[in-house]
Amino acid sequence: MALWGSDTQPREDEPVSAIASAPPERWADILIVPLVAGLAVYGLFSLLPLATPFLQRHLGPLPMTDVVLYGSMAALYLAMLLVTGLLLMSRRASLAALYFARGHGRRGLAALPLGTGLALGAMGVLTLLPDEMQKELMERGAALQPDTLGAAIAMFLIAALLAPLAEEVYFRGTMLRLFARRFSFAPAAGASAVIFSLSHGHLFQSPGVAGFVLTLILFFLGFLLASLARLSGSLRAPLAMHAAYNATLMLPGVYMLLVATP
């Protein structure tokens, strides 16, 4: 049985656990994973006001805005991974064996430079937008940019590690595998890429050409990540490419804070 796409045959040396006769994913997982993870994070952070005096007494003054922003992001990605892992475990499958088997390793060697190159290309495309659109995007981005080195490091770790891991497991793992059982690869990859690009919200936060361009870039990224998963037979290569893409986008901001920090 193929991992991604009905016409992709698994290698003979793939782990038996990764070629289960009964696919462990269920269509309901597409809703269950983000819903349960979101509710868990909401419940956790609704208790934060009660814990704040204790934390400040033992850890000193805390930048609560950063704690809520970066803490909730990290908690959401971790919760998505935990929920997915528990769902698979309940069906006698392993997240690591199912999604991160060695696969065709040589096909994923280009993942890191491809991710970096795509990020640089995306930044180049955005410079072609009209000046007022670039200014709008810069202002919106500045509102989300960390203003301390600690916050920048936290944001970098979330963007370069947690976000790629959780998003690859959800979009190129659960979602793409489900779609690929119903449709041929191109429509399945396209559908997962559309949902991936829309989930980042650029089309709604920046209506018009700028939001459309950002969404189109993420669609292209999502389709490439799906194709890389299919070619390599594992999420290892897409994870590396996704991490390189996000890290490249984050590095200029981290560098500026490092230069500005006395």
Task: Name residue, tokens 């996000």.
Answer: 246
Length of the chain: 262
* Secondary structure class of 143 (helix, strand, coil): helix
Helices (H) and strands (E) in the chain, counts: 13, 0
Which residues have C-beta within 8 Å of that of residue 23, sequence separation ≥ 6?
A: 1, 177, 181
238, 229 Cβ separation under 8 angstroms: yes
* pLDDT confidence of residue 227: 95
24-36 b/e (C-beta count within 10 Å ≥ 16 → b):
bbeeebbeebbeb
Please report, for the chain, the start and end positions of each structural domain, with discontinuous segments joined by +: 24-260
84, 33 Cβ separation under 8 angstroms: yes
pTM of the model: 0.87
Local confidence pLDDT in tens for the 262 residues of the chain = 345 554 444 444 444 444 445 689 999 999 999 999 999 999 988 887 776 676 666 566 656 677 778 889 999 999 999 999 999 999 999 999 999 988 766 666 789 999 999 999 999 998 998 888 888 887 777 666 777 777 888 889 999 999 999 999 999 999 999 999 999 999 999 999 999 999 999 888 877 888 999 999 999 999 999 999 999 999 999 999 999 999 999 888 777 777 766 5
* pLDDT confidence of residue 50: 73
* pLDDT confidence of residue 110: 86
Rounded to a whole number of angstroms, the distance between the first and last alpha carbons of the chain is 57
Please provide the DSSP assignment of 176-245 as one string. Answer: HHHHHHHS-HHHHHHHHHHHHHHHT-HHHHSTTHHHHHHHHHHHHHHHHHHHHHHHHTSSHHHHHHHHHH
